[in-house]
Amino acid sequence: MKLNLKNPIVFLDLETTGVDPCKDRIVEISLVKVMPDGSKEVKTRRINPQMHIPEAASAVHHIYDKDVADCPTFREIAKSLWAYIEGCDFGGYNSNKFDIPVLIEEFLRAGLDVDLHKSRFIDVQNIFHKMEQRTLVAAYKFYCGKELDEAHSAEADTLATYEVLLAQLDRYPELKNEVDYLAEFSSRGKCADYAGRIVFDEKGVEVFSFGKHKGRPVAEVFRTEPSYYAWMMNGDFPLYTKKVIRSKSSCCATSTTKSKAFRYRRQSHTSICQRARSRSFSIRRARSVHSRTSGQAPYSKFPLAEGVSYRETGDTESSMAGTGK
């Protein structure tokens, strides 16, 4: 079989520091350039990502920091790479969702605004999923060698599902015939809600699994952006998901209420002290004015001799207080 090509097509695969196109970097790129005449060129190069390669990523592609320490950065090869692939179409496995977006991000970070609008993208994974259905009918035929005649009949589907599991245990000896093991093996992670919108991270903290806050703790988001809680509660989310976020919001609200109560008590105490000081100052000022106009000591417990003014005695409120009288 020979591809019918009008333009060269580049099949690519990237090994990266992770799976986030926005944050992760390429550590290895492999290109297979197929020409319209059927000839092909293969080029593979490792790249210094200028960041630590996480151990989890290295465990997959077996590329470590020391392996790329002396390799060029993407910025250093960006222009020559673009010259090699410009005008080509592209192919890959899950490339439309991962490899192409990661590659474009790297070009932009290198200051190269590339244009792929005229290119065509073939994603082999999408063809696989469309041609080989992932339905119960397909699984029943593959594992049990039978046709599911009454597909979408609840009873027939239930019995077929049970038979498929038994056939899977027979086919794959590495699978343990234990419910706990099979439940863990078939799960996609521990979820806080059944829809998988909120999951537990490696520390057991509830985090969002979708949207702009993906990976962030639910409590943190609701504390810093209360409108996000309102958006979810008013949105088309499952009721149980809303129940989960309601409980998280209640915890945040309780914490916030306690914090506000503390601030209120502190402000109230400060206000009382300020009023007390203000009142004390007013009283002292009034007594001072009285003493100047009447000649009487404001705190004098003993009458002055006739004809002797308070000013003449040299006594003051503080001096009298100091005598202990």
With cut-offs at 50, 70 and 90, classify the pLDDT of residue 323. Answer: very low
pLDDT in tens, 149-189: 877 677 888 888 889 999 999 999 998 998 888 877 877 66
pLDDT at 215: 87
pLDDT at 293: 57
Q: What is the dihedral of CA 188, 189, 191, 194, to 10 degrees?
A: 10
pLDDT at 274: 63
Give me the phi and psi of 55, to 5 degrees please: -60, -35
pLDDT at 313: 41
Higher-scoring residue by pLDDT: 143, 243: 143
pLDDT at 70: 96
Beta strands in the chain (DSSP E): 9-16, 26-34, 40-46, 89-92, 121-123, 198-200, 206-208
Of 291, 290, 297, the residue nearest 323 (C-alpha): 297
11-47 b/e (C-beta count within 10 Å ≥ 16 → b): bbbbbbbeeebeebbbbbbebbbbeeeeeeeeeeebb
Classify domain 9-128 at the CATH class level.
Answer: alpha beta
pLDDT at 286: 60
Candidate from 71-75, 145-149, 189-193 with smallest mean pLDDT: 189-193
Measuring CA to CA, how many Å separate 127 from each of 4, 111, 151?
Answer: 17, 34, 24
Angle between helical axes of 154-171 and 136-144 (0-180°, round to 10): 40
- Kindly tell me if the per-residue pLDDT of 199 is higher than 50: yes
How many CB atoms within 10 Å of residue 276? Answer: 10
Sole residue written with tokens 């976020």: 245
Asked whether the beta carbons of 221 and 230 are under 8 A apart, the reply is: no
Q: Which of 77-86, 87-96, 143-152, 170-179 has the highest mean pLDDT?
A: 77-86
- Reported for 206-213, long-range contacts at CB under 8 A and 24+ positions apart, including other chains, are 206/244, 206/248
How many CB atoms within 10 Å of residue 241? Answer: 20
Measuring CA to CA, how many Å separate 72 from each of 14, 67, 75, 206?
Answer: 16, 12, 8, 39
With cut-offs at 50, 70 and 90, classify the pLDDT of residue 251. Answer: low
| CA distance linking residue 248 with residue 260, whole number of Å | 18
pLDDT in tens, 256-310: 444 444 454 555 555 555 665 666 656 666 666 555 555 555 544 445 445 544 4
- Could you give the residue range(s) of every CATH 3.30.420.10 domain in the chain? 9-128
With cut-offs at 50, 70 and 90, classify the pLDDT of residue 61. Answer: very high
Half-sphere exposure of 302 (CA within 13 A, CB side): 9
Higher-scoring residue by pLDDT: 261, 27: 27
How many CB atoms within 10 Å of residue 277? Answer: 10
Q: Which residues contact 73 (CB under 8 A, 6 or more apart)?
A: 47, 48, 49, 50
pLDDT at 271: 59
Q: Give me the percent of the chain exceeding a pLDDT of 90.
A: 38
Mean pLDDT of 217-241: 85
Return mean pLDDT, the chain: 80
Of 161, 233, 235, 239, the residue nearest 195 (C-alpha): 239
Q: Give me the percent of the chain exceeding a pLDDT of 70.
A: 74
Phi/psi region, residue 237 (left: phi>0; alpha: psi -120 to 50; beta: rest), is beta
| CA distance linking residue 256 with residue 68, whole number of Å | 48
With cut-offs at 50, 70 and 90, classify the pLDDT of residue 89. Answer: very high
